[in-house]
Structure 1
Amino acid sequence: MQRAGALLLGALMLGAPLPYSGAAHAQGWPTPADRSAFVPFATSPFPYAGEIPEQDKPFLDVTGRGGRGHTSPRGGVYFEDRTYADRRSLLFIPKGFDPRRPFAIVLFLHGNEARLERDVVARQRVPQQLARSGLNAVLLAPQFAVDALDSSAGHFWEAGHLSRYLAEAAPRLAALAGDGGLREAFAAAPVILVAYSGGYLPAAFALERGRAEGRICGVILLDGLYAEAPRMADFVAAHPDAFFFSAYSASTRAENTALQKLLAAKGVRLSTGLPGELKPGVVSFLPVPGDVTHNDFVTRAWTSDPLQAVLSRVGAFAKGTKPAR
């Protein structure tokens, strides 16, 4: 078993095709320790050489000595080879994960000026917050623009791309788990989409056109709505079987207020505050006092480790939940 697991993980780290057997390996569950890897994906958000939706212009609009580049409204020109070439995603399976019980995939979409290792892992402690939440779930976090003032969605702008990304993630998560037989379980697992800050843009388009809406069981925004309130409202109104929670500071108050008005007009019942349980049909907004710093919102907002606090309220996937019959 150890040799098979090593072969699987080696293939995963190299981005090679994964060996797969329809029969599950003999694996001890729950997992005895955290498992993580940075894995190159063929379906990564970048590199991207397509159009910017609704702007009728190419994403790569600059060509010069520095190569091909993109003009970001806030950051100026960023070049493809330095900013839009990282194909990796962070995969994380926490200690105690048990695929025999109901479980979910947490898809984390990071904000601007971020690197997976430095920010998502070390600074924001996203894997740690998931591990401590008590949620029976695994983590997926794709790299978008590297360390840039840019919220561009890349391939997540495209129809069906979220579905393709999740399909590629399934065998890679199974490899990290050391059990190729889990491929189908990961391919069907419900998804909780979490977007922080600039992650709002890929989130909005992924929800609208990613063709994975049947798998989205919840959306969590952490100071993560600077625009696209109509797209978000359409998704929430059309999916009463999913939960929606948005915590926000003064930085995103205007767009969150706009979203609440749109949802009310669509007849969606809203609440204010952090619900005791995030379950199908719950739609809630939590305004956070103005002394909160946007850049620290994932680790310090209305409480320390707010992502952990929110995930701990997703009762359907709490560790210890009985296996489905």
Structure 2
Amino acid sequence: MWYVPELSKRASLAAAGLAAAVVLPAIALAKAPAPGDAAPLVAPKPQPVQSRSAPLARAKTALMPFQTAPFPYRGLTPGTGTPFLDVEENGRRGHTTPYGRLYWEDETYSDNRVLLHLPKGFDARRPSLMLVFFHGHGATLERDVLRRQRVADQISRSGANVVLIAPQFAVDAADSSAGRFWEPGAFGRFMGEAAEALAKLHGDRKSVRTFASAPVIFVAYSGGYLAAASCAVNGGINKRLRGVVLLDALYGELGKFASWIENDRSAFFVSAYLGSTREKNSELAGILSARDIDYATALDRPLHQGDVALLSGGENVSHRSFVTQAWVDNPIEDLLRRLPGYRR
């Protein structure tokens, strides 16, 4: 396992010797929205928890290599019948993107690390959620997901009993490939490994049952939509997936997202858009209307079961900063505050 370098100065080895515990700055929490009259969107269900550990005294963040990570991937590109690694020169293998760009495996598709984060106060005895973040183009876990987009920090600030799982996809590249997550059931196996890794990071191996059974929500940014769509309909986690959030990310796969929304009316779907995804969101709105599925155009209350929202991203907002500045500042934090059944 590789630790996040910036956190190492204040890190200490966890009980299992496999994860770094870090202390995040103390931040005052804003008042959470009051629950509405309807049932919360993600209704907490009893989880088979064996852990008797107290809430975590400190946040814990780590980068861990996974055997079931999206990459390396030596399979086929869906819909083409051709190997994903379709170029070989001087002993190097590479992938040609649909736009004709060539990326080499050793530079772009060999990082099997996953960013894990447990917020301070996380309680394995209480209802919890697993947030899986799909980072999109031109990203690395440390530089972008952790530092620039502050995904772990937003989870910590939200006050929600939520853990972060963020796999590395194509490294710093304009490529939305899902890699191993294209394979049926592969994401389910990944989540099984994530449960084991989170239990080690937590420090109480009995907490593995918490992480293996907790509901899951997806948050996909930009090009992360492709892997999110594949995992939603083909990932093998079935009813554990309780929500999908797209942050300026609906560039395609409308059929998959619409079918998932229609087939599970107990889960939620939120898509926020700027100019580049406005048209696709309008197309999705038409599909939903044709199927008699209501949707909102604003978030003004806690999320409830079956909620669907298609949101304008706001004014003077850029695509690059959308994970931290959208219809509100820190949109991931805002969304988690709208799930009152999962407070720490």
Would you call these one fold, judging by a TM-score over 0.5?
Answer: yes
Q: Tell me the CA shift for residue 65 of structure 1.
A: 2.5
Amino acid at match of 1:88: R
Mapped partners of 1:310, 1:253: distance in 2: 21
**2:191 corresponds to 1:166:** yes
Counterpart of 1:32 in structure 2 is 57
Shift of residue 73, structure 1, vs aligned partner: 3.0
Distance 2:123 2:51 in 1: 14
Question: What letter corresponds to residue 84 of structure 1 in structure 2?
Answer: Y
**Secondary structure at 2:177's aligned position in 1?**
coil
1:238 alignment counterpart: 263
Between the aligned partners of 2:52 and 2:155, the Cα distance in structure 1 is 26
1:98-247 map, 5 Å: 98-247=123-272
Other-structure match for 2:4 = none
Task: Tell me by how many angstroms 1:168 deviates.
Answer: 0.7
Q: 1:311 Cα shift?
A: 1.6
Q: Which residue of 2 aligns with 1:90?
A: 115
User: 2: CA distance between counterparts of 1:158 and 1:316?
Assistant: 33
Superposed CA offset, 1:133-153 (max 9, x none): 121111000000000000000
Q: Calculate percent identity across the aligned residue pairs.
A: 48
What is the Cα deviation at residue 8 of structure 1? 5.0
Q: Secondary structure at the match of 1:131?
A: helix
Structure 1 residue 47, shift from structure 2 partner: 0.6
- Counting matched residue pairs gives 306
Q: 1:249 aligns with which of 274, 287, 306?
A: 274
Closer, same or farther in 2 for the Cα pair 1:4/1:249, shift >3 Å?
closer
**Aligned partners of 2:51 and 2:124 also within 8 Å:** no
Matched residue SS, 1:51: coil
SS of aligned partner of 2:287: helix
Could you tell me whether the CA contact under 8 Å between 2:19 and 2:201 is conserved in 1? no
What is the identity, as a one-letter code, of the residue corresponding to 2:334?
A
SS class of match (1:214): helix
* Alpha-carbon distance in 1 for matches of 2:159, 2:19: 29
User: Equivalences for 1:40-59 in 2 at 5 Å?
Assistant: 40-59=65-84
Cα shift at 1:56: 2.2
TM-score (norm: length of structure 2): 0.85
Show structure 1 runs of 4+ deviating over 4 A. 23-26
Aligned to 1:81: 106
**Range moving further from structure 2, 254-263 or 186-195:** 254-263
CA positional deviation for 1:315: 2.1
CA offsets 1:188-234 (integer angstroms, 9 cap, x no match)? 01001110001000001111111112100111111111110111000
Asked if residue 7 in structure 1 is aligned to residue 16 in structure 2, the reply is yes
Distance 1:309 1:5 in 2: 30
Q: Retained in 2: the 8 A contact 1:275–1:284?
A: no
Separation (CA, whole Å) in 2 of partners of 1:74 and 1:147: 16
Give distance in 1, aligned partners of 2:51 and 2:338: 32
Deviation at 1:25, TM superposition (A): 6.6
| Helix, strand or coil at the partner of 1:200 | helix
TM-score (norm 1): 0.90
Does 1:62 pair with 2:71? Answer: no
Structure 2 counterpart of 1:45, which letter? Answer: P
User: Which structure 2 residue ranges, 5 or more long, are not aligned?
Assistant: 1-11, 21-48
Give, in whole Å, the separation in 1 of the partners of 2:318 and 2:117.
27
Q: Encode CA deviations 1:119-140: one digit per residue, 9 max, x unaligned.
A: 0000000000011112111100
CA contact (8 A) 2:128 2:215 kept: yes
Mean CA deviation greater in 197-206 or 246-255: 246-255
Which consecutive unaligned segments of at least 5 residues does structure 1 have?
12-22, 320-325
Instruction: Check conservation: 1:223, 1:297, Cα contact below 8 A.
Output: yes
Instruction: Between 198-207 and 247-256, report the one with greater CA deviation.
Output: 247-256
- Alpha-carbon distance in 1 for matches of 2:221, 2:322: 8
Tell me the alpha carbon deviations over residues 89-131 of structure 1, each in whole angstroms, 9 at most, x when there is no partner. 0010000111111110001110100000000000000000011
Match of 2:289, as an amino acid?
Answer: A
What secondary structure does 1:257 align onto?
helix
Residue 19 (structure 1) aligns with: none
Q: Which residue of 1 aligns with 2:33?
A: none
- For 1:108 and 1:278, the matched residues in 2 are separated by 19
Contact 1:60 1:68 in 2 (8 A): yes
1:53-102 CA distance string (max 9 Å, x none): 11222211111126000012347100001100000000100001111111
RMSD across aligned C-alpha pairs, in angstroms? 2.0
Q: In the alignment, is the contact (CA less than 8 A) between 2:274 and 2:312 conserved in 1?
A: yes
Distance 1:205 1:162 in 2: 9
Q: Match of 1:37, as an amino acid?
A: A
